[in-house]
Structure 1
Amino acid sequence: MIVQKQQQNYGPNPVAVRQTDKYKEEYITSFVARWDQLINWEARARSEGRFFMEVLQQRGAKKVLDVATGTGFHSVRLLQAGFDVVSADGSPEMLAKAFENGRRRGLILRTVQADWRWLNRDVHGKYDAVICLGNSFTHLFAENDRRKALAEFYAALRHDGVLILDQRNYDQILDSGFSSKHIYYYCGDNVKAEPEYVDDGLARFRYEFPDESVFHLNMYPLRKNYVRQLMTEVGFQQITTYGDFQETHHQHTPDFFIHVAEKKYELGTKNPGEI
């Protein structure tokens, strides 16, 4: 029998908790049950538009591995758009919620519980695309973990595959303080998602919901160019970075960055760029 945890526990000094494996304890049942209030599926779908579908379609991608499924938002959207999707996550609580969300929409998600660092042990086959969305890569605190995860993503791709990975604009948070319009990613009404503590090695976010419940996530504040450099060192040939979604990529301080990393090698390829 699975015992469902109802309270997060960071011990006497929460800002000292900086381990990758902590995420398994952070996504407790009561937090996951409220997660979709934070996202607001309908509002987020409007803000994204067809950005991710178009990135995938432009590259002829059909078979997609969603390695950070969460409650299933992107897996469901891609399935509805006709993509062949496998949904993976390290949190069994999230996978259960994703499966439930899919079933409510007449879809059966193919779910796999998998740790990115050993992804190909649990997820088999090759994919046209791997997507790692929802600021999920920030759960990895050690550089070795980040390199291992990216290498696993790379290995799961076909020779001409693409990785799409997003992250918060931690550069802005670290350099100038937190400011978010909550327009694109976290669209829920009366929900707050703000950093409670930030230093070069930790961004501790506080999540407040309309019923006054409060939860936290301890995450590593990834700088944009650092992530791009890691992708290059793992073997990705060309990386394009967008600010928020396509419609707003010229704004000066986006809430999120989206990296599109190509595995395919092409002669005469331009240097990795930003948009």
Structure 2
Amino acid sequence: MNKNYETFARVYDAIMDDTLYDKWTDFSLRHLRKTKERKKLLELACGTGIQSVRFSQAGFEVTGLDLSQEMLDVAQKRAASAKQKIDFMQGNMLDLSQAGTYDFVTCYSDSICYMQDEAEVGDVFKQVYDCLEEDGVFIFDVHSTYQIDEAFPGYSYHENADDFAMVWDSYEDEAPHSVVHELTFFIEEEDGRFSRYDEIHEERTYEVLTYDILLEQAGFKSFKLYADFEDKEPTDTSARWFFVCQK
């Protein structure tokens, strides 16, 4: 699998809409007040490092953290070829005790939705709070309840490229506001044959009030709520909620 991981990461990057990274970057730059003294940023769930590189190019001192060492290997190469000095560390956002302290923490691409339950979400918030400097800012995005309950169930997406194919189907899960994504990849090997990989992604979101309570319990003094990369309040059909939280 490891020999293939770069192909696999490339497939992930290929199916990700590149313009989303521009939007995350723009949103971040509007809400993170960077100064000479305040520019240390921790990106949680940084994956293959596309967003970390954008932050570094924007002048932040970036550390990227991810569970997957293979993803981080790809991220290291990406940072090197972009001539950006970024620290990458393998770790779990449920334990940031060794991560150091930062002025800013981000967690994008609905990575919080991969936590198993609200206890874990609360744990992440507490970990982030503890590694933020005073007056630090934490930004994260999650799927809205509308997106999980109405948009995803029955969603199906197929992609065919020369060297890979992908099938993605989403189904409603048992817990409230939860969904299962079943992904099947067919990736071309060096000998021209295709290998099949199956992945299951389980995501779960909560009412805004739940996030509000968990943030408060973690110690955050306030947060602002936005939707879909714009500085405006969510509507009933917003797909993605953004929380900008102040320590």
C-alpha distance after superposition, 1:210-244 (max 9, x if no partner):
96966433323112412232112211111111111
> In the superposition, relative to structure 1, how do residues 116 and 48 fare at CA in structure 2: closer, same or farther (>3 Å)?
closer
Question: Are 1:223 and 2:197 counterparts?
Answer: no
User: Of 144, 152, 157, which residue of structure 1 is paired with 2:127?
Assistant: 152
Any unmatched runs of 5+ in structure 2? 188-193
Partner residue in 2 for 1:18: none
Corresponding residue SS for 1:165: strand
Task: Give, in whole Å, the separation in 1 of the partners of 2:173 and 2:167.
Answer: 17
Partner residue in 2 for 1:245: 229
C-alpha distance after superposition, 1:148-167 (max 9, x if no partner):
22111000001100111111
Partner residue in 1 for 2:67: 90
Shift of 1:44: 2.4
Corresponding residue SS for 1:44: helix
Aligned pairs (5 A) from 1:165-184: 165-174=140-149, 176-178=150-152
Partner residue in 2 for 1:140: 115
User: Of 71, 74, 78, which residue of structure 2 is paired with 1:101?
Assistant: 78
RMSD: 3.3
Task: Give, in whole Å, the separation in 1 of the partners of 2:238 and 2:63.
Answer: 29
Query: Which letter maps to 2:65?
Result: A
Larger relative contact order, structure 1 or 2 (CA cutoff 8 Å, min sep 6): 1
Shift of 1:39: 1.8
Partner residue in 2 for 1:164: 139
Partner residue in 2 for 1:21: none
- Percent identity, please: 23
Shift of 1:132: 0.9
Shift of 1:54: 1.7
Shift of 1:38: 2.0
> In the superposition, relative to structure 1, how do residues 255 and 31 fare at CA in structure 2: closer, same or farther (>3 Å)?
farther
Contact 1:171 1:223 in 2 (8 A): no
Partner residue in 2 for 1:25: none
Contact 2:34 2:60 in 1 (8 A): no
Shift of 1:128: 0.7
Contact 2:115 2:204 in 1 (8 A): no
Q: What TM-score do the two structures reach when normalised by structure 2?
A: 0.78
- Larger relative strand fraction: 2
Task: Give, in whole Å, the separation in 1 of the partners of 2:197 and 2:2.
Answer: 18
Corresponding residue SS for 1:154: helix
Any unmatched runs of 5+ in structure 1? 7-27, 182-187, 264-275
Shift of 1:119: 1.0
Report how many aligned residue pairs link the two structures: 231
Task: Give, in whole Å, the separation in 1 of the partners of 2:117 and 2:152.
Answer: 24
Task: Give, in whole Å, the separation in 2 of the partners of 1:56 and 1:65.
Answer: 12
Partner residue in 1 for 2:96: 119
Task: Give, in whole Å, the separation in 2 of the partners of 1:244 and 1:208.
Answer: 28
- Of stretches 48-57 and 86-95 in structure 1, the one that deviates more from structure 2 is 48-57
> In the superposition, relative to structure 1, how do residues 46 and 138 fare at CA in structure 2: closer, same or farther (>3 Å)?
closer
